Chains A and B, each alone.
Chain A
């Protein structure tokens, strides 16, 4: 089973600032990585797939990068609606498909 590790667990950022979230896989997953955003009481929403491709309707301030075992989600200029929990997920080595523990982006 591939273990996905996200850091930091919590990120305090001021509106308008850049946020950088990390995700590491316990073995290479090539670019088979997705990022999801989850707000309280809501289902997750797909942001990024194939490590760097934005899903339909996702603003350009969200970008993903990385390959192999190390991945990054960057939010270039945080808006109020971006404060949420972000999860990474690998979808190449299964079963099981696995998610990271999440990074909570909170208002500084």
Chain B
């Protein structure tokens, strides 16, 4: 079945970096975009960025520009989120989410709704 399986919980010190993985299975990885969304305790969902695994196109939220990098390994059907310069406010659950995309002649040109989500990865930033 279609699923996204994320890496395990992380505890990091302020100033460090974290890299979270999201392994896709049950579908063709390059045919769908992948987003990263985080949720701090008791807070709303916050979009961080996306990648189109087919052409490596990425977009990021201005809020995280310069600190976030989203990559993919198509041979492993895995997307990655790396966040640097961690601070206590980055403590959150981080989710990957699949997106079939808005298509033009079969090419993803923009986002659509997120139809499959990973289970989430808790990242705790504490000294």
Contact = CB atoms under 8 A, between A and B. Distances in A.
A31 to B, nearest CB: 11
Given A94-B111, A95-B59, A95-B61, A43 B46 contact: no
Nearest to B45: A99
B61 A96 contact: yes
- Main secondary structure on B side of the interface with A: mixed
A2 to B, nearest CB: 11
B113 A45 contact: no
Interface of B: 35, 44-47, 49, 59-63, 95, 97, 110-120
27 contacts: A34-B113, A34-B114, A43-B118, A43-B119, A44-B45, A44-B95, A44-B97, A44-B114, A45-B117, A46-B113, A46-B114, A46-B116, A49-B115, A89-B114, A91-B110, A91-B111, A91-B113, A92-B110, A94-B59, A94-B110, A95-B59, A95-B61, A96-B47, A96-B63, A97-B35, A98-B47, A99-B44
